[in-house]
Structure 1
Amino acid sequence: MRKLLTTAIAVTAFLTGSPALAEPGGLDLTVTPAGFTAPSAVRAGALTLAVRSEDPAGAWVGLVRLRPGVALETYARHLKQAMSDDPADAMAGGRAVTADAEMFGGVAVGAVPAAAEIAVSPGDYHLVDFRDVAEPDFVSRIRPLRIGPGTSPKATNATAAIIATDNGFLAPRSLTSGAPVFVLNASGQFTEAMLLPVRPGTALADLDAFFARTGPSPFTGRPTGVVPLSPWRSAILTTALPPGEYALVTWVRDLRTGEPLALRGARALVRVA
């Protein structure tokens, strides 16, 4: 009950515009098959990370902060393990990544650009394209980012919310294309929130069958959304998706069982208008 109350307070604060974030300069990144370049420093506050992809495979760019004493190479090795197709290996890697770094989110993009507004404080961070994890030069593609002192807070303008909980997503049945959406991880582990277009007539049972590997893929395009957030981290997603039916899902596995979180209810159907 206390956790649900805390979630409700956090969502209400964002949707009513209470001061929560500061205003820094943004980062506009263009990702190619060779990776991306980025400034080495910005000021603290609400970092706006805007991403577009010239890579046909898309891009999943996120902001992470390594914990004291963790080497970048160690984190990269564990991240690759966490994205393994083997459930036991992925579970062990996910636990290691949790110990290695704090995850602040970011954006996954395909054909449609997107931006995420992320609350940050001063310190040393890294920008990571999670889709590059299998590349032999993965570590060299990760970009360091120093965040310095910021400015005074401002109110957010998000008008809808997606909440990841231990029992799945709390999400509206419809979203407005181009309107900012507050995304909060209120679960006990890191997770993400991805929107993928689906075939007309797709039902929740079709999503369940896909994640259980008993049915075909219902998806008709690449994901757009918020990449992994640590518990109680949030981001404000803005993207002009084409109108239609979308699945809201996560590809992250349960770090206790190795099962896809989608099989525990972390999936929904959303109409974008």
Structure 2
Amino acid sequence: MRTPMIAALALALAFVAAPAQAGTSETPAVDVLVEDSGLNSPATVTAGATTFRIRSADPEGAYVGLVRIRPGHALRDVLADVERAFDHADREGALAAARRLSAEMVLYGGAAVQAGMVVDYTTVLAPGAYVVIDFKEVGRPGLADKVRRLRVLPGLPHRSPSAAAEIVLSSTAAGATRFTAPATLPSGRPVRVVNRSRQYNEAILLPVRPGTTREQVGAYITAVSEGGQAPSPFTGGPVGLVPMSPGRAAVIRADLAPGSYALVTWLRDYRTGRMHADQGTYELITVE
């Protein structure tokens, strides 16, 4: 879990946009802090739109996600499948576990953050029980002891932040996943991410060297996918939305340095076993 690829692979926030209603209030914000000693997150929030202000004091950053276990499944069993899904020594077992996860839990996304920065992620939550997890810890001892439970209590609706741009994940007729994104994203402004594809997926931004081409990014992705090596075009760590289930959406905001970025997903297509990115799920964009 220490490379950008593996960290981003570590298992993703359901946000369904709704018009503001009379009596709604501004979106409340709660703090989530990842330290060397563990994950600190609130025990309760109220239903409706909530902004999770995620930051990490861990030099490795964090990959904080929010999930809800479906009825009939136990948390310990789901976490075991999360571990299996990223066991690269057993590819077939990993793909089978990834497929099971779609039936075992709803992934509400979350945020990948680098040390010392803050990423805001907003979702709409119904009352019930949820689990907060730093997916960076997948593959390390004691994962079950490191997750945090979150209870969402009934409450008045809150207004969600307006988005300045939108990124959409969708499926082609052949089943491949593609990004639709503007050529330019505004730094520090809310961006809505929508998953209209057929699998849980993510939207990760990685800074690239000036002048990097899409072909160079693709060559690196192919080399990584095949277990080989190639010059990395990336100049920094991942920031963005970690995996969320199909039919979900989220709003995310981060203060990113202006420049060129690759928009990628490092997850594997559990139909083909290949990385989505190796099947063309990546784009180059500019942050201003």
Q: Which SS does the other structure have where 1:57 is aligned?
A: coil
Match of 1:80 in 2: 83
CA contact (8 A) 1:22 1:45 kept: no
Superposed counterparts of 1:173-252, under 5 Å: 173-213=183-223, 215-252=230-267
Q: Within 2, Cα distance between the matches of 1:92 and 1:23? A: 42
TM-score if structure 1 supplies the norm length? Answer: 0.89
CA contact (8 A) 1:62 1:106 kept: yes
Gapped regions of structure 2 (runs ≥ 5): 1-15, 172-176
Match of 1:55 in 2: 58
CA contact (8 A) 1:225 1:237 kept: yes
Structure 1 position 178, deviation (Å): 0.2
1:60 maps to amino acid? Y
More divergent stretch after superposition (110-119 vs 25-34): 25-34
2:121 maps to amino acid? A
CA contact (8 A) 1:19 1:156 kept: no
1:19 aligns with 2:24: no
Match of 1:102 among 97, 103, 106: 106
Gapped regions of structure 1 (runs ≥ 5): 1-12
CA contact (8 A) 1:32 1:54 kept: yes
Divergent runs of 4+, >6 A: none
More divergent stretch after superposition (158-167 vs 138-147): 158-167
CA RMSD of aligned residues (A): 2.0
Match of 1:9 in 2: none
Match of 2:125 in 1: 120
Q: Within 2, Cα distance between the matches of 1:197 and 1:208? A: 15
Match of 1:33 in 2: 36
Q: Within 2, Cα distance between the matches of 1:187 and 1:272? A: 25
Superposed counterparts of 1:65-76, under 5 Å: 65-76=68-79
Q: Within 2, Cα distance between the matches of 1:97 and 1:216? A: 33
Q: Within 2, Cα distance between the matches of 1:93 and 1:210? A: 27
CA gap 1:220/1:64 in 2 versus in 1, 3 angstroms: same
Equivalent residues, number: 260
Match of 1:159 in 2: 164
CA contact (8 A) 2:27 2:158 kept: no
1:50 maps to amino acid? R
Q: Within 1, Cα distance between the matches of 2:136 and 2:107? A: 16
Structure 1 position 194, deviation (Å): 0.4
More divergent stretch after superposition (177-186 vs 83-92): 83-92
Percent identity, aligned pairs only, is 41
Q: Within 2, Cα distance between the matches of 1:210 and 1:90? A: 23
Match of 2:174 in 1: none
1:193 maps to amino acid? A
1:44 aligns with 2:59: no
Q: Within 1, Cα distance between the matches of 2:58 and 2:73? A: 30
2:79 maps to amino acid? A
More divergent stretch after superposition (213-222 vs 159-168): 213-222
Structure 1 position 84, deviation (Å): 2.8
